[in-house]
Amino acid sequence: MSTVFAVPYLLCASDPAKIHFWYGGVKDPILFIKICGITRYEDALCAVESGANALGFVLAESKRRISLSCLQEICEKIPSNIKRVGVFVNPDRAEVLAVLSQVKLDYLQFHGQEDGEFCRSFDCEYIKAIQVSGRIDINTLEAEHAAAYALLLDTYDKKLAGGSGRCFNWDYWPKQATKPLILAGGLTPENVARAIKQVAPFGVDVSGGVELIDELAGGVKQCIKDVKRIKHFIQQVRSCS
């Protein structure tokens, strides 16, 4: 594998074609792509081979929760330049430390009401998810999470901390952010290009939008990734670069 991770070089909020990253030592226009909710090595391999920069592993109560043994196996097998992201929802400190003692993660992603002090208290970079239901005070959020690698904007849901499968109104996307912003919430191969053109994010995060659907069960997603949809999703993202 020759896939390499993109490190931000220049962010431009108005034109996605001018978002540049250091990519393998060369400045290239490319977006950060995270495939989240990985539960099997086969799905991780497909995402990596298709060009994802990062893989997300849910370590909170969820139908996509991964076991530590499976997480360890996947993290040992995927290339070192693919970023491993552990997703937590309002964990206690011991819970996070227990995972970090067994698995090397590149980022912690916090999806609950965790404050900045808690998030930055671990010896690991973090991404803070923000649930969006209207206009957000991006200046306050950036100040609270000044140490964050990025903020991830997801759709607000009364019952779910993430993975709702619904988009929020992209008109609420903050225009004056100074930190990298990752777009999540209801993204699919069919709408991701339009989303990127409208909000010009630092990156995109997808889970349910690239999963197999059980038609016999009324369209229920199986929490297993669909190879064709992963490839199509990433192709659509790259077409915007």
pLDDT digits (tens, 9 = 90+) for 120-145: 999 999 999 999 999 999 999 999 99
CB 1 within 8 A of CB 79: yes
Predicted TM-score of the model (pTM): 0.85
Mean pLDDT, range 101-115, rounded to an integer: 97
- Dump pLDDT digits (tens) for 183-205: 999 999 999 999 999 999 999 99
- Dump pLDDT digits (tens) for 33-75: 999 999 999 999 999 999 999 999 999 988 899 999 999 999 9
Residue of 43, 46, 119, 154 with catalytic role:
154
61 token code pair? 């109560």
Neighbours of 169 (CB within 10 A): 11
CB 35 within 8 A of CB 178: no
pLDDT winner (highest mean) among 15-19, 24-28, 84-88: 84-88
Confidence band, pLDDT 50/70/90 cuts, at residue 31: confident
Kindly report the CATH class assigned to 32-236.
alpha beta
- Whether 28 shows a pLDDT value over 90: the answer reads no
- Nearest-10 crossing angle of helices 192-199, 227-239: 30
CB 129 within 8 A of CB 154: yes
The pLDDT, as a whole number, for residue 4 is 36
Average pLDDT of every residue of the chain: 85
Active site residue 36: yes
The Cα-based distances of 69 to 66, 72, 76, 78, 102 in angstroms read: 8, 5, 11, 15, 9
Confidence band, pLDDT 50/70/90 cuts, at residue 221: low
Confidence band, pLDDT 50/70/90 cuts, at residue 30: low
Residue of 36, 46, 119, 167 with catalytic role:
36
Neighbours of 17 (CB within 10 A): 11
The pLDDT, as a whole number, for residue 222 is 64
The pLDDT, as a whole number, for residue 163 is 61
Confidence band, pLDDT 50/70/90 cuts, at residue 240: confident
2 token code pair? 């020759």
* Percent share of the chain, pLDDT over 70: 80
Rounded CA gap, 153 and 173, in Å?
8
Q: Which residues contact 228 (CB under 8 A, 6 or more apart)?
A: none
- Whether 90 shows a pLDDT value over 60: the answer reads yes
